[in-house]
Structure 1
Amino acid sequence: MNTKIQKIEKYFNNEIPSLISNCKKIVNKNSDIKAVYIVGGMIRDILSDIKPSEPDIAVAGNFNKFVNLLSEKYRGKIKFHHNFLSAQIYTNILHIDINCLRTEKYNPPGSLPKTKATLDIEQDLIRRDFTVNSIAINISDINKFKLIDPYKGIEDIYEKKIKVLHNKSFIDDPTRIFRAINYKYKNNFEIDPETFNLMKLSSKNVRNLSKDRIKKEMRIFLDTDKVIEKIKFTKKINLFENISKDLSVFKTNLQKTKIPNNFLEILGIILFESDKKQIVKIFDWIKLSKEEKLKLLDIHKMKKICENLSHDKLKASEVVHLCQNISNEILKSHYIVCKIVQSNNQILKYLNYYKNIVPDLSAKELMNLQIKEGKIIGELLSILRNKKIDGEIKNKIEAKKFVKNFLNN
């Protein structure tokens, strides 16, 4: 345990010394603030030898007073969430999450919790999602740091094990099912067999979440690494089936496919054979912007486009005509999964070269040639670009000659 304390203490002293010092000073000068702890993710990450997350602070005592005093030290901006006894401080150097030590009750299960302040750190830790996040260190003790690990979270960190703290954990908060899967694939942890059984039994409780919370969790779930593996794992616990049959359209037979980091490209890959109706239904279950929805609707057009791109003797301008109204993200995703080699070659040429070609004459230059009507200028710009793409016009001189002949005819 001493080695672990030393490891954590070294990080605190090297990386966040002012935060530790300020917390100690505040507790020392204010008797109604009993103790301050760093909890959860930062300790887990330090002990796992990965880059730690931002500090998560828990306060015993006068919570609002502590938040205001700490914010003054950094001249930071405060955002309070009074219903949850929590706040964030945003500074130039840190984003600090702060929570009052609290208990939580979920009534009904799956709803947002009702919170109540406590002075007992162990009561606060048992409300958390997994044992690896239920570790605290008292940073307000003047003499030394004190590590608090009542639920053997450190042991589970070193065994790379995801384990819930009580049997009702996934019933109380079904979003923890998503979180457990994300941890498994992000940190290469294994889910404890008993916890896995609880996930499977509780996956139907995801229906108790509000639609907005499901959409938010689905966004996080799909916007991270190892998406295909994670979707496959959900089938073991019937997670998506318990949310909606609409989610059955996700493709998982892509083991050898290199999955990109871009969120829309990821969705383009796992929805690549979906029709318009299926894609629209997905919008009900994932948090998406209006622009993202419009781009995803391009997916159902790609089957026909890929067939057309595979034709022999297509002009480069015809490739542009087929591709130019499809978002880059969806084109890239279909380049990854489409098995028609000729189509892939054309998509690659479009993305890397054709789409960046502009005509040799601008609208202003056409107006200088005494062309006034906007419709004709637009038509000429389109024709000039196509001829440039096809290699039929190579410079301004040839472009002006073409325009002169076009107008004379």
Structure 2
Amino acid sequence: MFASASPSAAILARPPPLCYTRRMTNVPDFQSKPPNLKSKVADRLPAAYRQALAVVADEAQRRSIGVYLVGGFVRDLLLDRPNLDIDIAVEGDAIAFATAVAAHLDAATAPPTNSKLKTQNSKLLHPQFGTATVQQDDPPVQLDFASTRQESYAQPAALPTVSLVADIATDLRRRDFTINALAIRLTDYTLVDPYGGLADLNAGLIRVLHPASFVDDPTRIFRAVRYEQRLGFAIEPATLSLLHDAVVSGLIDRLSPDRLRHELEKIWREARAPAMFARLAELGILAVVDPALRWDEQLRHQCEAAAVAEPLTTRPLLHLPLLTYRLSDVEQQRVSERLNLDAATRALIKQMRQLREHLPDLLHAARRSDIYNLLHPYPDLVLLATTYALAPYGTGSVPANATALDKINLYRRELAGIKPELDGDYLTALGLPPSKAYRQMLDELGRAKLDGEVPTRAAEEALLQRLVAQAKGELAWMAATLVKHSTASPPSTTSSTPITMRMLAST
């Protein structure tokens, strides 16, 4: 019933061109004959990749089999977008073909490039299906090979069953959207487009290849939004209707936590992640993940600010904490379970909630040292995410949040890096044996440094000398008092250490 990815399944009917209301202005017009793709590929790829693909093409001619560039590289090539993720479909044994390519790459270069063949059985998804990756070290090249195949689904949202097929058209038929169902035959660099992907690229449309696409694989719901917002396209009307039906029918609930999180993680890494979240919310998808997940203009403002200011490595770490910041403890735990979040992410969300609960204490912190003591226990990522969560937005901004934000920024910008020049070695040099008093004195030194009371090394020395003299004086008085009250008792023979030093060491 659900093995709908067969070649006989009907392609979605195409609406008339007047329905194409959103089109990227920078998409080339491919209504006419496509440009020479060999020269287009050559212009896009580094020399090492061009040489490697020439080896692939020669091997395909020797074996008289079809070998094709497929996937996102072809789509982005036609859109003039950068992409070096090279996937190659082989009408035959991909592992044997990749093995030959690796050997020819070594023979064709001087000195040898140390090409390596990495094979795996795709055990997570398709144990019976082999793929191969050829990696060249110097210059760096990576080519991923897979035999042409088809997929069938035993039930909605199940992982697919894969079987080998002989032709590229059937392999492209299993793809998620028509714009990803394009291939370039490497022997002559002609475009293979059996499902109208080129027309949809030109029109700026995201279209599934068959009506059961979202039923077979509900992760395509998230991918549709991701491609739509990344490329500035629109989800084609019939596809949008199918997507809506899949959402309201509960198909997302059938996804495992790991598969669901994996799709969201892809969105978090996107430059236009805020727009993607907004679209997920608009289509009711975010609420299906968890009813507590809400999107509003304030959250959009926070995520967009982070996307502009933070590097690509940091942005993905901020989106989910911001999305869950206003949730209750119970709601945060429920989201964490639904997405099977790792311990580090759960800790980040929990620490942000704890800091939120301690904001009143931060507001009342008058001294710089008080601010330091309140914020020092939190990792910088927690503080960074909280600065975006507290960022003022619109007329409804809370003044208290602005005050807390100023203090967090002060800590991150200045206080976190303030350290005294002196440490325990200086106390030892003053003749003070190691004891608990060290920590107390150094804490007092740190407080004084933060509050500007000891701006120089000389001032630090004076403070520690005063504290040590005070401690020694107090201990001498304690020792004298103890001696006075113990004159009637025999002297202790348990230790030859002077009593003052024993007391000092135990303080």
- Above 0.5 in TM-score? yes
2:111 aligned with 1:64: no
Q: 1:26 aligns with which of 59, 65, 89?
A: 59
Alignment of 1:306-325 (within 5 A): 306-311=359-364, 314-325=366-377
Give 1:292's aligned residue. 345
Alignment of 1:63-142 (within 5 A): 63-72=94-103, 73=105, 75-82=115-122, 83=126, 84-92=129-137, 93-139=140-186, 141=187
Q: 2:448 aligns with which of 364, 377, 387?
A: 387
Give 2:9's aligned residue. none
Per-residue CA shift, 1:28-49, capped at 9, x if unaligned?
3335xx1210012111111111
- How far apart are residue 255 of structure 1 and its match? 3.9
- How far apart are residue 195 of structure 1 and its match? 0.9
Name the aligned partner's letter for residue 55 of structure 1.
Answer: I
Higher-Rg structure is 2
Q: How many residues align?
A: 402
SS at match of 1:98: strand
Cα distance in structure 2, aligned partners of 1:186 and 1:374 = 60
Alignment of 1:111-260 (within 5 A): 111-139=158-186, 141=187, 144-203=188-247, 204-245=250-291, 247-248=292-293, 253-257=298-302, 258-260=305-307
Q: Which moved more, 1:79-88 or 1:272-281?
A: 79-88
Distance 1:375 1:158, change over 3 A: farther
Q: Which has the higher contact order (CA 8 A, sep 6+)?
A: 2
Distance 1:366 1:211, change over 3 A: same
Decide whether the 8 Å contact of 2:260 with 2:339 is kept in 1: yes
Give 2:42's aligned residue. 10
Cα distance in structure 1, aligned partners of 2:154 and 2:195 = 25
Decide whether the 8 Å contact of 1:59 with 1:100 is kept in 2: yes
Cα distance in structure 1, aligned partners of 2:370 and 2:318 = 24
Per-residue CA shift, 1:193-250, capped at 9, x if unaligned?
11111111112212222222122222223343343432332234332333343x5256
Distance 1:49 1:12, change over 3 A: closer
Cα distance in structure 1, aligned partners of 2:75 and 2:375 = 47
Name the aligned partner's letter for residue 130 of structure 1.
Answer: F
Identity of aligned residues (%): 23
Give 1:43's aligned residue. 74
TM-score by length of 1: 0.90
TM-score by length of 2: 0.74
The Cα RMSD (Å) is 2.3
Name the aligned partner's letter for residue 116 of structure 2.
Answer: G
- How far apart are residue 67 of structure 1 and its match? 2.0
2:467 aligned with 1:406: yes
